Amino acid sequence: MIKISPSILSCDFLTLDDTMPLLKEAGVDMLHLDVMDGNFVPNMSFGVPVIESIRKHTDIPLDVHLMIDKPHRYIKDFAPVSDWLGFHYEAGSPVAETLKEIRELGCKPYLTIKPKTTAEEIFEFLPLCDMVLVMSVEPGFGGQKFMPESLPKVTALKEEIARRGLNVEIEIDGGINKETAPLAAQAGATVLVAGSYVFNGDDMCERVKYIKSL
């Protein structure tokens, strides 16, 4: 069954306390939190205090995606408020060392690649990951159009993970909706991040259930 990680960036923060029980009832597997610094990506979002407050009000696992420059500097800050903690391959941190530190601090580590980065560039790091995240839009803003050229990267990662006999989730983030979700699942993605599709619809729970049914 496909897992879903709704992106909190697309929700109404004023009603988040009411939304959390609905998400749990719908069966979401984790909540995706994009941390943006206005440097690595051209936008800013939130940091540790907001994630900490969300964590106090839900037991849904938190999938924290660091879109920040040199993320190794902040791993110790984000680890206590994260269940899954990921960063970008392109962000200027020592990749292997940072993945190991995340695991040592009790989180599930994952590595993210931007649209122009090939899957092959991160093959060597797969044994250190519990998940890899393929961006299907340019990171930094929600509501972008899905890039179908991301799908072969998902398939390449799936094949390499199987070849190595690893247990690594493949997450995809960007432009996931009713039309693109089946394509991502068919390509080999096991976790779908959906923001606008989940939170901007008339029936959030039904949309979550649809993605999980793929």
**Binning pLDDT at 50, 70 and 90, where does residue 12 land?**
confident
Q: Encode pLDDT of 131-187 as tens digits.
A: 999 999 998 776 678 999 999 999 999 999 999 999 999 999 999 999 999 999 999
Q: Give the distance between the most distant pair of CA atoms in the chain.
A: 46
Taking each helix axis from N to C end, the angle separating 16-26 and 204-212, rounded to the nearest 10 degrees, works out to 40
Residue 63 falls in the annotated catalytic set: no
- The pLDDT assigned to 66 comes to 98
Q: Encode pLDDT of 159-174 as tens digits.
A: 999 999 999 999 999 9
- The pLDDT assigned to 210 comes to 93
Q: Is 174 left (phi over 0), alpha (psi -120 to 50) or beta?
A: left
Q: Encode pLDDT of 109-127 as tens digits.
A: 999 999 999 999 999 999 9
Q: Is 5 left (phi over 0), alpha (psi -120 to 50) or beta?
A: beta
Angle at 124 between CA 121 and CA 128, to 5 degrees: 120
Residue 173 falls in the annotated catalytic set: yes
Q: Which of 37, 63, 130, 173 is catalytic?
A: 173
Domain boundaries, the chain: 3-212
Q: Which of 12, 29, 34, 77 is catalytic?
A: 34
CATH superfamily of 3-212: Aldolase class I (3.20.20.70)
